[in-house]
Structure 1
Amino acid sequence: MVGVFAFPALLPDFVAAWGLSNTEAGWISGVVFAGYTVAVPILTTLTDRMDAKRVYLAGALFAALAALGFTLTAEGFWSALAWRALSGIGLAGTYMPGLKALVDRVSGPKQARWISYYTASFSLGTSGSFMITGAVAEAFGWPAAFGLAAAAAAAAFGLVAVALPGVKVVPPERKTNPFDFAPVLRNRAAMGYVLGYAVHVWELFGARSWMVAFLAWVLASQPGAGGLSPTSVATIGGLVAMATSILGADMAVRFDRRRVCAFAMVSSAAMAAVIGFCGGLPYGVVAALMLLYNALIQIDSAALTTGAVMAADPARRGATIAVHSLLGFGAGFVGPLAFGMVLDAAGGATTGLAWGLAFASLGAVVALGPLALRLK
């Protein structure tokens, strides 16, 4: 995952170097998840018919090639857009197929906890993406950062190829169309979590794609201000998010899962409504608030995915995960783009009002989540 958030980590640099508008920057940040959305229904559904390990290996190889292509040929909006879209296909072949590979290899009462750990590790990957990309780009330039992302994806290919044992997957009856998603859509219990996940990811990826740019604006507007760099804050935010995701998943096991998720959504929506308007506060205070916002966003992440997997028909678990990812990461594509559009429409990235309204738009979307969770 080193390359997944490499562009948002360096967004201010690319905006300046390539003369991008905020809307164009939003397109490049979000198109990863558009590529993911196109590919994930096919790749994840295939895991009901074959060992998910095979799909993962193909996805890791694709991710490596996409990062390498960006390194060698990206020089502006269109070339960056194309390579980032292809990197989304690589993510589609690794993230949820990796979850299916885990589910096929563990069972019993601790399965839900393993699913939660796996899902929370997405935040660890996010943190690493911001940290590694920022550090390498500062020292050697952005091509080196993306080249390292390619090498990391190739290393993931090797690790899974060697260390993960194969399993025999017994597919459903051959008369069943593996790409018939109607039974999944009729599963109200699973779809409640799926729709809740969609609004969660809209907020999550919208915030993660723009928080470095927001913090950079706050820092630049306060001459003499010091503290952690924006990419360092984003890195720590990913680690905080991982911890709260695991905590939220554990709370969902102990208490009512839907209530825990609804509480998290209402809390993060409230934070989104105000954080963008706090740019005039001291930089250290804004950075601390951003860490708190990261924590609140992530409380329900693993709990929502675990809920969808546990509510799925075992014979259609791969298809359920595919729909879960399709809607979730489709929203993840729109979130960063919509954020950039609101930012441009409200006056641009140099005004506190524009940042406030852009973050508030994320809160307005995630506030719809508790309604989706009422499906049972």
Structure 2
Amino acid sequence: MKTLVERLSPSRLVLLVCTAEILSMTGFATYPALLPRLRAEWDMSNSEAGLISGTFFVGYMLATPFLVGLTDRIDTRRIYLLATMLACAGSLGFALFAQGLLSAVFFQVLVGAGLAGTYMPGLRLLTDHFRGAVPSRGVAFYTATFGLGTTGSLLLAGALEPVGWQWAFFAAAVGPFIAGPLIFFSFPARPPQGSDAPPVPVFDFRPVLRNREAMGYILGYAAHCWELFGLRSWLPAFFAFSLGLTATEGGFWFGAASLAAWVNMLGPLASIFGNEAAVKRGRRRLILSAMTGSGLLACLVGFSAPLPIILVFILTTLYFLCVMGDSAALTAGMVAASEPGRKGAAMALHSLMGFGAGFLAPLAFGSVLDAAGGNESVTAWGLAFAALGVWSLVAVGLMVLRKIFSSS
């Protein structure tokens, strides 16, 4: 008897995996959405608040070599199910036991480990079972859905914050609890397909490091994630600062968390259209353009805080669209460049490098904010955002130099 996935068309397969991705991410942005409140309630500095955001990615990094690398060896469905239980436990732990910096760090690590076992393994399931002619489109929709998952997480936390921040974390635990069984019972029970290459040790990334094409996309993804996750971690707090400067009452729909959610909701469009542009005009050109735009806009966004909130929102949205523009192109390029039998290892290193940058970025942002004058200083916010864009500009410079020297 065929499983659900074996009866689905390629478009419905993508829809199923993307739905599970959104559900698995309900706890992803709960802490960033509640950061201003918890920073005050737990009497934390900006650096400590950023550290909690960053430790989400510590959990991701610690779990990735195991949970993603093992998809080359064992049934990916089982990894996905285990990971959703970790994410569920992390959100429940926040709701029941978090009382300050140390306990919050521990539960953020669990939630991050949960994402490690769902995001790239979910992509693995999609690419292993995709039967369409243009798999990069399936990858583009999947990576774009990350933005919808972030939006849903922000809106859920913002809606429940007035009831109590603990309730926001309780609700965040429900999504992964549903996503795990959805994937487990929809896909066939079988090992990864299509590889005659001998298995490599889980922590042996040497074959991937020797793959120059794949490594180019992986390093570009690290610069992308530095900017993206630094921005996502601090965006609600930045909007709260801007609303406070202009004495604007946004209410639920236009409060700080909701404004951040609307920005994130537009990200999938940038990722999907960016991938289409990459298919038609070349990935390299698209990646260079997106990184240049995001790096330059990063130097402007923080200084815009005193402007009317609609202008701050528009500028921040343009910045986010540039950041997201190369997301699918980088990941699809890595998948296409991966060697048969080592796709899981390439995905693991891709995630490890990207989310490692995601760990450092929120902490660096908070440290710059503290060093430059604190979270009540426009200059401090401007410099903190500029610190996000610098690595995209460095990556662009390196790509341009590489082209110059390789053609001379």
Common fold: TM-score over 0.5: yes
Q: How does 1:36-55 map to 2 (within 5 A)?
A: 36-55=60-79
CA contact (8 A) 2:249 2:255 kept: no
Match of 2:322?
296
Match of 1:8?
32
Code of the residue aligned with 2:93 in structure 1: it is: G
Code of the residue aligned with 2:338 in structure 1: it is: A
Q: Deviations over 1:158-186 (max 9, x none)?
A: 21123233344256555643432111001
Q: Does the alignment pair 1:160 with 2:186? A: no
Q: CA deviation at 1:211?
A: 1.0
Q: Does the alignment pair 1:218 with 2:242? A: yes
In 1, the alpha carbon distance for the partners of 2:202 and 2:47 equals 37
Matching residue within 231, 235, 253 for 2:261: 235
**2:242 alignment partner, SS class:** helix
Match of 1:149?
172
In 1, the alpha carbon distance for the partners of 2:221 and 2:198 equals 31
CA contact (8 A) 2:300 2:382 kept: yes
Q: Deviations over 1:87-110 (max 9, x none)?
A: 111111111111111111114532
Q: CA deviation at 1:291?
A: 1.6
In 2, the alpha carbon distance for the partners of 1:111 and 1:371 equals 30
CA contact (8 A) 2:224 2:392 kept: yes
Q: How does 1:1-376 map to 2 (within 5 A)?
A: 1-138=25-162, 140-170=163-193, 172=196, 174=198, 176-224=200-248, 226=250, 228-371=254-397, 373=399, 374=402
- Over 4 Å off, 4+ runs: 170-175, 224-227, 371-376
Q: CA deviation at 1:367?
A: 1.2
In 1, the alpha carbon distance for the partners of 2:112 and 2:196 equals 28
CA contact (8 A) 1:51 1:101 kept: no
Q: CA deviation at 1:371?
A: 4.5
**RMSD of aligned alpha carbons:** 1.6
Code of the residue aligned with 1:146 in structure 2: it is: F
Q: CA deviation at 1:237?
A: 1.1
Q: Could you tell me the percent identity over the aligned residues? A: 47
In 2, the alpha carbon distance for the partners of 1:195 and 1:88 equals 21
TM-score by length of 2: 0.89
**2:68 alignment partner, SS class:** helix
Code of the residue aligned with 2:206 in structure 1: it is: A
CA contact (8 A) 2:66 2:202 kept: no
Q: CA deviation at 1:235?
A: 1.0
TM-score by length of 1: 0.96
Which residues of structure 1 form unaligned runs of 5+?
none
In 1, the alpha carbon distance for the partners of 2:287 and 2:248 equals 41
Which residues of structure 2 form unaligned runs of 5+?
1-24
Match of 2:6?
none
C-alpha change, 1:269 and 1:154, in structure 2 (3 Å) is same
Q: What number of residue pairs does the alignment pair up?
A: 375
C-alpha change, 1:45 and 1:21, in structure 2 (3 Å) is same
In 1, the alpha carbon distance for the partners of 2:353 and 2:310 equals 36
